[in-house]
Every structure is written in structure tokens, then in C-alpha cells.
Structure 1
Amino acid sequence: MNVRNSVALVVGVTGMAGLSLAKALKQPDCLGGPWKVYGAARRSADGWFPSSILDGFITFDAVNSADTHDKLLPLVQEVTHLFWVTFQFVGDEEANITVNKTMLLNVLTVLKSSPSSSLIHITLQTGTKHYMGPVHDPVLSTKLICHEPPFHENMPRLPYPNFYYVLEDLVTSYAPSVTYSIHRSSIIIGMSPRSAHNVLMKLAVYAAICHHLGLPFRYPGNKYTWEHFCDMTDAGVLAKQHVWAAVTEDAKNQAFNCTNGDVFTWKSMWMLLSEVFNVKFVELNDKEEFDLVELMRDKGEIWDLIVEEYGLHKTKLEEIASFEATVPVLRFQFQHVSSMNKSKDYGFFEYADTFKSIRFWVAKLREMKLIPVYKH
């Protein structure tokens, strides 16, 4: 039995990782439980979000120190674990560093401001950009040299600015009074219209527009990724790793990769996606340029029509589908694969079948009325 009550603050609760994390923490058999769970986000939860899984929902802007202070001060004596699963992409990597450091620092400043602070652990969500450099920076992304895959946790930092590095340094600066864990996921698959990098949602939207307009569902990547290995991270596996590291003594003050434990080629993935999204599979034609970003640039009104026709939760294309962020991931010239050996060495054995995960989360997206269900 816990001497101290476990109270979680999940910042970024409306994202893929945050939603799965809140659900995991409220399971009756969750490690370290029973948990009281507060969820926080910039915007209020609306129709699609199951707010009943939380003990309290807080809306605040973490970039604003005064707003952060006002909203979080009442929780200072309660919160034992901070689960940080949010980020903002605002421009080049230096701008990303500034905004993301400001957000986390504002939250930690409040939670540690009182002598009666109860905070004992921080889990920090990052990703494989740790091993690749700032792949979305408009200038630096064209000249990066990344580590040789499979990526493993003791690889040295790359000589590029990276907001993941800055956030790691920030949480480690609170040790030893607060322990921490770092979670480096691959491409996350889950359910949320609020995640800037929800690849599955974006591909589902792209497929729905192709279905509606009678366009071919073409692969927007290159021949290398079509034929070579990649991995993914089920949001449920990621959530379990966050909780496990937060309450397992040996896992404290460590960084862990988090993937499903299997690999796939994008050709095989495209076959599966074509099936689950009810569109015809199209072989890669790498002789012909295909610009998905340009194709989708003027499709906002088409998405509005699809939302109306199928009675979907009202979303705007520009808010749920940043194709500019997805296309580079499908055009790597290296295998996007991480090792899970360290996690297993420390006692974390969760895994997922990626193709089963895709089917599961597509069903969830339909159940939550975020993407269409087609009648055969």
C-alpha cells in the first residue's frame, strides 16, 4: 500500500499520449495506484474527449507564467507525479527551444514553489529526433547527419540545437529532490484530433479525401522508406512505460526508447492502410513527383463536406493535418528503427503488433466520429 497518495498531473492530456496515459492511470490495476488524475491542456475538452476519465480538467497556457501560476497553485501540495506529454512547434529549432523550455519551466516553477510541494517524479516525453537532429527545421534539416540505426539510448547528443536536449537538462536540474524518466518514442499511433503529429489521423484524412474525390491514394514518400524498415509506438504501450518508469525504483533517472518492438516496410503498411481506409492500393511510382502538401493545400472545404456528410466531430483540416510535418518522415534515407533492449534489461516488457494497433486505433477514430465509416 502506498504511504503517499499517487496524484498525477498529465500536461497535454488531449494528445495521443496524454489520453492513453490518463486512461492507463485510472485502471484499477495500474502500477502505483490508485491514482488521482488531473489533466491539463491549452484548450478545453470538447465533444470527442472522454473527460470522465479525469478527476479534474485544467485549462491554462503554459507559455504564460501568470496563467500557469494561477491555475496550478491549488495543486502544489497534491501533485506527486508530473507527466509531460506536450510540445509546441512554432518555427525553427531555436524558436522551438524557447517556447518548450518556457512551458516546462513555468510548470515546474509552480509545482516546486512551495516547501510543501509533493512532486517526486517527472516523466518527459521526447522522441527519435534525439538521434536524428531537428528534422523539421527549415534550414538545418537539409544538412543533418544522424546516428546509425538502430538507435540506442547511450548514443551521444548530436551537434545541433534540439529542444529535447534542453528539456532533458531542465528536468535533470531538479534532481535529486525530484526523480525523472525520459521516454523517446517513435511515430506514435493513437487517437486525438489535437496532436500535431498524429500520422494515422493525417493519413486517414488524406484517404477520406481521396475516397471522396476518386483520387488515387498515392504514397508521398520515397523508394527507400517504401522498401526499408520503420517502427511505431502504440500510445497504450507508451502510456504504460511512463507509469512503469514513474513508480519503478531502478528506472528512475533513466532514458528509455519506446517502440512496439516490431518493424514494417511502408509498402506493407500502405497495403494495410488502403484496406482499412477503403481505398485502392497503389504501387509506388518513384519516377513521378508527387507533392502531398500541395495536393492537400486547398482541400479544407472538401474535408468540411466529408465531416457534414458523415456526421463527424467538427474539425478543420488545417488544425488536424499538418502534412508538412509528415512528409519528411516518409522520405528518410535511413531505417527509422530504435532498440528496445535497455527497456527490457530494466524490466519493461510491453509490446504491440503494429498492424493490429493500426486496426485498433482506426476503429477508435471511427468510434469517436473523427473519420468516416464507409458502408460496403
Structure 2
Amino acid sequence: MSKVALITGGNGITGSAILEYLVKNTTAEEWSKIIVTSRSPFKTTVHDERITFIALDLSNDPATLVEKMTPICAEVTHAYFSSYVHKDDFTELNKANEALFSNFLDALITVSPGLQNCTLQTGGKHYNVHIRPVPSPARENDPRSACPIGNFYFPQEDYLLARQKGQAWTWNVIRPEAIIGHTLKPNGMNSALTYALYFLVCKYLGTEAPMPTNQRYWGGYDDLSDTRLVADITIWASTSPNAANEAFNVTNGDFFCWRYMWPRLAGYFGAHASSEQVFKLPTPEEGALQQEFRLAEWAADKKVVWDRICDESGCPEAKGTWESGTWAFQDWVFQRTWSATLSVNKARKLGWMGHVDSYEGLTDAFERFVELGLIPPLKAVGPQT
């Protein structure tokens, strides 16, 4: 029997990737319908007769969601949850995102009697890599550790397992790290786009493009999760009997050192950064937070420069992209003094063999930004005259 997908967060960086994966890699005989939902108006880079959009605000109570979902979602067999709502206060953030998932799952179970699988996307923050040094690489069976600011991934996952107990449908949890991809809608954690903006401005100004971090993060080892792999493992896990009722980390499958990756990325754009970057601040202790300079401060007066770049390169429609730069988010990441990687051995042992070279994953994203008109063609951006 053909399957019916329901993807939440359809405008997001992974929700849109799952949609794109199903459109490009499956037939109508395999997946007869692809239902996409988001709170904001739907924007997509792919088109397919199987796509149906339904506007849902998952902060609504389950009864309200049931009423809206029933006419469209009754035949759903596979649900993919990748929604997120941001709140500056951590208590509010955790509470809001817990409710977001529980509301959705309660409504889904009521509306879709033929449900076969529900997959929840969380991430590397499950291991608290965002707040302190942790064993690296982190593995799925590592015991949970308490988080002083709370971690809504835990109650989301617990609720999924509790609601599935005794049911015919299966569950999966997917945990990516440092997601790299593209989306038409602004995304609060789209690092690749921020790198592109930074390097292009440095190229245009003819200035060095140092990495705004510290000696420990600069010299440590990191990994990334390409959205194409996130989508691939999500569909694999949710449709493979031997992967049922399991959580899986997902990364590109390689490790790299920013000391060598950063200059390589700068060179791709025609900017300059050195692997022998000199740091003025002393080497911090592991676990501390430190940056040579803050990207948010650097970017504060660069909007006029970006506008000039777009005009001179014949790409004025890209001016609005500047507002999608995740400057504060990158500061939050680059201030760390520890490395945090995820093991993908569990998925490998069960047969998933996805892999993307991290440099190629980043440059592929850069190329897509050009194709989508988010940044000018790289050759069109030269030093200012």
C-alpha cells in the first residue's frame, strides 16, 4: 500500500528537506500524498501534484487541531515532526515546545487511525553539547544529564514513547548536529548562509576574514549534518522494520578541524583567512566562553555594504537576505571552548550508509543560495572600487 506523509515545519530547514527528498526520490505508487503544514504561509522550492498544504498552529489545543486536521490528515501513515517555536526565556521556550509536540501527537493519533510511524526530530542538544563539554562523540545510549536551563527534547521524547506504548505504530527520534542546508524562509540556525554573507562582505571590503572564536574551538574537531542526510535517514528509519522504535544520531560521517576548514571556505568565496590565525586573547580554560570578536557587533554596520554588493553585482533582490544572517546564533556557537561530535555507528550497524563530505555539503548549500537568488553569483562580487 502507498504511504501518506505529514511533515510539520514545512518552511523550516529540515521540514523542507524532507519534502524535497520525497518529491525527488519517491513515486506516487510509494507515497501517494505529501501533506505539509506550517504556521506561516508555505514557500517551497519543489512542486509536485502530491503536495497538500494545511496551515496549522500547533500551539492550539488538540481538539482544535483535530477539527482542522480531520478533513485532510485521516489517511496519514507517516508523520514527521520538525517544528520549533522560539522564546527568549528558557522556561517559556521549554514549555512552548513541549506543548507544540504533545498537542500535535494527541491530534495525530485521533485523526489518523492508519498511522504506521511518527518520527520526532530533536538534535545534538539532547546531549547538552550547547552548554558544557560532554563525552565526544556522543552516542544514543549515553545516559541523560541534567540541564540547568531545561531541555525540552527530553519531555518530547518521553511523551512520544509513552503515547506509542501498546500501539501498532512505531516511533523514531532523529538527532542531527549543526544543520547545513537551504530554505526560502529565514531560519534562525542556518549557519551556511551566515558564513556566505560574512565571507562575501570581507571579500568586497578587501579585509581579512578571521573566524570569531577562540583557540580551543579553532583547533578542535567538529561535525555537521547536511539536510539531505537528515531527510534520508528520517525516511529510512521510519520505513525500515529493523530501525523501528530507535533514536539515531545523524551527521555527515566525517570530522574536520575549523583551523583548516575556515580558510578553505574563505577561499571558495575569494576571501582570505589563514590557518595560522593569531589570537589576542589568552587560551581559555575548557568549559569557559570566549570570542576574539562578536559577529553580531561586526555585522551591525554592514547592511549598507551588503546593499552595495547586491546593487553592483546586479542582484538587488538579495538585499533582504542580510536580515536572515544568524549573527547572534553563531556567536553562541563560536564562543564554546569544547568540541562536540556525534557518533553515527548505530545507524551504520543497521544498514544506513548515508555520507556527505562536509566541505562539499557547505559549498552545495552556497550554490543553492545563488540559484535561489539569496546571494549574488560569487564571480559577480569583486573588491570595492
Q: TM-score, normalised by structure 2?
A: 0.86
Residue 246 of structure 1 is matched in structure 2 by: 238
* One-letter code aligned to 1:130: H
Q: Which residue of 2 aligns with 1:294?
A: 297
Trace 1:232-271 onto structure 2 (pairs within 5 A): 232-271=224-263
Moved more, 182-191 or 280-289: 280-289
CA contact 1:186–1:258 (8 Å) conserved in 2:
yes
Cα distance, 1:316 vs. partner?
A: 5.1
User: Tell me, which stretches of 5 or more residues in structure 2 are unaligned?
Assistant: 282-291, 381-385
Alignment of 1:100-115 (within 5 A): 100-114=97-111
The one-letter code of the counterpart of 2:351 is G
Deviation of residue 227 (structure 1)? 1.4
- Over 3 Å counting, the alpha-carbon distance change for 1:211 and 1:152 in structure 2 is same
Aligned to 1:88: 85
Displacement of 1:235 in angstroms is 0.9
Structural mapping, 1:92-241, within 5 Å: 92-114=89-111, 117-132=113-128, 135=130, 141=131, 144=132, 146-160=133-147, 161-176=150-165, 177=167, 178-192=169-183, 193-241=185-233
The amino acid that maps onto 1:37 is I
Asked whether 1:330 is paired with 2:323, we answer no
Per-residue deviation at 1:80? Answer: 1.1
CA drift at 1:29: 4.6
- Measured on the aligned residues, the alpha-carbon RMSD in Å equals 2.4
1:62 counterpart residue number: 58
Whether the aligned pair in 1 keeps the contact of 2:36 and 2:52 (CA below 8 Å) is yes
The 3-state SS of whatever aligns with 1:315 is helix
1: CA distance, partners of 2:57 / 2:302: 30
SS, match of residue 113 in structure 1: helix
1:358–1:247 CA distance, 2 compared to 1 (3 A)? same
Offset of residue 257 of structure 1: 0.7
State the alpha-carbon separation in 2 of the partners of residues 86 and 326 from structure 1.
Answer: 21
Partners of 2:28 and 2:260 lie apart in 1 by 36
Shift of 1:298: 3.8
- Per the TM alignment, residue 261 of structure 1 is displaced from its structure 2 partner at its CA by 0.8
Structure 1 stretches lacking a partner, 5+ long? 136-140
CA distance in 2, matches of 1:123, 1:31: 21
Deviation at 1:228, TM superposition (A): 1.6
Aligned to 2:6: 9
Report the alpha carbon displacement of residue 86 of structure 1 after superposing the two structures with TM: 2.1
Inter-CA distance 280–147: structure 2 relative to 1 (3 Å threshold):
closer
| Secondary structure at the counterpart of residue 83 of structure 1 | strand
* Native 8 Å contact 2:203 2:272 kept in 1: no
Counterpart amino acid of residue 182 in structure 1: V
Cα distance, 1:51 vs structure 2:
4.2
Q: How many residues align?
A: 361
What amino acid is the match of 1:201? L
Instruction: Give a deviation string over 1:295-326, Cα, whole Å, max 9, x none.
Output: 113434444454555143563534x2232222
Q: Is the 8 A contact 2:176 2:249 kept in 1?
A: yes
CA drift at 1:334? 2.3
Task: Pick one of 18, 27, 40 that aligns with 1:21.
Answer: 18
1:86-117 deviation line (CA, Å, top 9, x unaligned): 21221233222111112112222222224x62
Shift of 1:52: 3.9
Contact 1:122/1:180 (CA < 8 Å) preserved in 2?
yes
**SS of equivalent residue, structure 1 residue 281:** coil
Instruction: Tell me which amino acid in the other structure corresponds to 2:70.
Output: L
Superposed CA offset, 1:331-372 (max 9, x none): 322222111111111211111111121221211111111112
Match of 1:73 in 2: 70
User: Identity over aligned residues, as a percent?
Assistant: 29
Which of 202-211 and 362-371 deviates more?
202-211
Equivalent pair of 2:191/2:326 in contact (CA under 8 Å):
no
Q: State how far apart, in whole Å, the 2-side matches of 1:302 and 1:122 are.
A: 46
Partner-residue secondary structure (3-state), 1:173:
helix
Q: What's the CA shift for 1:251?
A: 1.0
Q: Name the residue aligned to 1:340.
A: 344
Structure-2 separation of matches of 1:272 and 1:31: 41
Query: 2:14 aligns to what SS in structure 1?
Result: helix
CA distance in 2, matches of 1:69, 1:302: 49
Partner of 1:138: none
